[in-house]
């Protein structure tokens, strides 16, 4: 089976057009003012929380050696598949395909804590304010970091959050075995730590010294020159109680090559169809699962606004208005423009607009792939 990693396909090659923050605030506020908007977000929204996007401002992958685990590799029942599943929690770059897959488990084990500990940034909280004020009743996110949930979680009950926020590509915060037993990722992380005390000590040292390995949006990291052979993947305790041996575990994340469950796909289309317009934020739309939502909105003649820094798959498409500007520069002012005096008198809105970090990854750690 051959599955390719999605790339940006810009059919019309529209030139980049800059816009001032003030002009962008006016345009976005006008677009959102009628309400009934579905918001589609991508990795760019979480960059200010310290989680790197896959691509830089030029649209190229920032990691030239980026080699994601493919779904058919992860679920292979053979010894080769076991090796790939071990890699899901760890990976070295320069190795054979079978060894690459074997490493991913440890790689994810090391990469999960930075995602787990990440805090919502100012954009997440501005979006939460727009949700709370009912301008954005539906949010579809490609991100698996759970930061939208963290931003609104103190205002809405979990059931209501599930109704209003759709995680298109799943979540890093739950893990299931192949027989369907689901556990919180924090619990599974504890199992991995108990089975691998030497790696637990390594993680503790990273946190103590403030070292942060390069973390991708899906929670894996960059490591070189380390051995994975001693990494142990624990058995599922529930399967053991039922008399089965099972060390196959998978996060509830949609892998490259894996089909999105029909209920999630149908819900994503429903969210677009029930809205009056689509606002797209911080994504190149390289994955078709996201791009097809833009296509569906255009088919239904719904207005589409795209806010992203760098090229996207929808650049130049008729019916798509693109603003080339970072959400962190404008979204809080958009809330103020929309809500007027409420933005300074409603204690909930005031708190949301005063919340959020702005700690993007250091530029000198970004490796941009260039053709030479």
Catalytic residues: 169
Q: H helices of 118-236, where?
A: 122-132, 147-152, 158-164, 185-195, 197-209
Q: In what order do the strands lie in the sheet with 170-177?
A: 182-184, 170-177, 249-253
Q: Return the residue matching tokens 């918001």.
A: 39
- Give the DSSP letter of residue 49: G
CB atoms closer than 10 angstroms to residue 143:
26
CB 102 within 8 A of CB 228: yes
Q: For 50, how many CA atoms within 13 A lie in the half-sphere containing its CB?
A: 15
Give the β-pairing of 182-184 and 170-177.
Answer: antiparallel
Beta-bridge partner residues of 306: 280, 322
Q: Are the beta carbons of 120 and 352 closer than 8 angstroms?
A: no
CA angle 160, 164, 170 (to 5 degrees): 105
The C-alpha atoms of residue 230 and residue 57 are separated, in whole angstroms, by 39
Is the separation of the CB atoms in 25 and 189 below 8 Å? Answer: no
Number of Cβ atoms within 10 Å of the Cβ of 237 = 14
């Amino acid at each position: 089976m051959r599955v390719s990693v999605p790339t940006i396909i810009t059919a019309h090659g529209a030139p980049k057009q800059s816009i001032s923050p003030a002009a962008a605030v006016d345009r976005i506020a006008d677009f959102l003012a009628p309400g009934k908007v579905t918001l589609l977000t991508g990795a760019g929204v979480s960059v200010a929380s310290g989680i790197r996007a896959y691509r830089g401002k030029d649209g190229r992958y920032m990691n030239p050696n980026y080699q994601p685990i493919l779904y058919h590799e992860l679920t292979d029942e053979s010894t080769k598949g076991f090796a790939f599943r071990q890699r899901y929690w760890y990976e070295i770059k320069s190795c054979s395909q079978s060894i690459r897959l074997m490493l991913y488990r440890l790689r994810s084990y090391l990469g999960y804590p930075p995602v787990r500990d990440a805090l919502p940034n100012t954009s997440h909280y501005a979006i939460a304010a727009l949700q709370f004020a009912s301008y954005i009743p539906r949010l579809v996110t490609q991100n698996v970091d759970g930061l939208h949930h963290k931003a609104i979680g103190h205002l809405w009950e979990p059931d209501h959050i599930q109704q209003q926020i759709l995680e298109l590509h799943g979540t890093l915060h739950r893990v299931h075995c192949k027989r369907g037993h689901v556990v919180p990722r924090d619990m599974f992380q504890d199992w991995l730590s108990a089975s691998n005390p030497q790696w637990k000590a390594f993680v503790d040292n990273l946190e103590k010294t403030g070292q942060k390995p390069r973390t991708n949006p899906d929670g894996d990291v960059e490591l070189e020159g380390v051995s994975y052979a001693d990494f142990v993947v624990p058995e599922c305790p529930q399967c053991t109680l039922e008399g089965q041996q099972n060390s196959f575990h998978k996060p509830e994340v949609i892998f490259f090559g894996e089909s999105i469950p029909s209920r999630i796909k149908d819900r994503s289309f429903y969210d677009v169809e029930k809205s009056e317009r689509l606002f797209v934020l911080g994504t190149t739309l390289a994955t078709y699962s996201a791009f097809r939502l833009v296509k569906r909105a255009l088919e239904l003649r719904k207005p589409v606004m795209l806010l992203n820094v760098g090229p996207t798959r929808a650049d130049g498409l008729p019916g798509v208005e693109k603003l080339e500007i970072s959400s962190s520069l404008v979204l809080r002012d958009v809330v103020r423009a929309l809500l007027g005096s409420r933005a300074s008198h409603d204690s909930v809105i005031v708190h949301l607009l005063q919340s959020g970090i702005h700690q993007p990854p250091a530029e000198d750690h970004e490796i941009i792939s260039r053709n030479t």
